[in-house]
């Protein structure tokens, strides 16, 4: 049966798929959560616009964590594009 299904490849794709396909959006969510200052109090009106997620309301530590999260996501996207370019 092993000539029909390459189980290790399936496992690898599932494993890495979980890391990148589920892990990265989760990281993105962490970034958003950190940026949205302690949830209930910051629930500004919709008209608040971009300032709701602006640095004004967010401390430096949170900002740093958010930047790291988003940076990792951006780097992963760049790696993905590299994969597209490189593959035949």
Partner 1 sequence: MAVAIVLVLVVITALAFDFTNGFHDTGNAMATSIATGALPPKVAVALSGVLNLVGAFLSLSVAATIASGLVDTKLVTLTVVFAGLIGGIVWNLMTWFLGIPSSSSHALIGGVVGATIAAAGFGGVQWQNLVSKVIIPAGLSPIIAGIVATVGTYLIYRISRGVAAGVRDRGFRIGQIGSASMVSLAHGTNDAQKTMGIITLALITSGALPAGSKAPFWVVLTCALAISLGTYLGGWRVIRTLGKGLVEIESPQGMAAESSSAAVILLSSSFGYSLSTTHVATGSILGTGIGKKGAEVRWGVAGRMATAWLFTLPAAAIVGAVSFFIANFIGGTAGVIVMFLVLIAIALLIYLRSRKTAVHAGNVNEEWTGGVAPPQRETASSTSA
Shortest distance (Å) from residue 52 CB to partner 1: 6
Cα separation of the two ends of the chain? 28
Q: Is 9 in the site for partner 1 (CB under 8 A)?
A: yes
* Six-digit token string for 71: 């940076």
b/e burial code for range 37-58 (CB count within 10 A of at least 16 → b):
eeeeeeeeeeeeeeebbeeebb
Shortest distance (Å) from residue 60 CB to partner 1: 19
Q: Which of 44, 65, 68, 72 binds partner 1 (CB under 8 A)?
A: 44
Closer Cβ to partner 1, 43 or 60, answer by number: 43
State the sign of the Cα–Cα–Cα–Cα dihedral 71, 44, 46, 49. Answer: negative
Shortest distance (Å) from residue 68 CB to partner 1: 15
What is the rounded CA–CA span in Å between residue 48 and residue 52?
6
Number of shown-chain residues binding partner 1 (CB under 8 A):
46
Q: Summarize as ranges the residues that interact with partner 1 (CB under 8 A).
A: 3-5, 9-10, 12-14, 16-18, 20-26, 28-33, 35-36, 38-40, 42-46, 48, 52-53, 77, 80-81, 83-88
């Amino acid at each position: 049966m092993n000539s029909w299904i390459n189980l290790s490849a399936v496992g690898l794709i599932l494993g890495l798929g979980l890391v990148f396909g589920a892990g990265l959006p989760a990281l993105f969510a962490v970034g958003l959560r950190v940026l949205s200052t302690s949830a209930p109090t910051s629930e500004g009106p919709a008209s608040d616009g971009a300032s709701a997620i602006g640095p004004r309301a967010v401390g430096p530590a949170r900002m740093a964590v958010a930047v790291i999260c988003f940076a990792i996501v951006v780097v992963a996207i760049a790696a993905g594009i590299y994969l597209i370019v490189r593959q035949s």
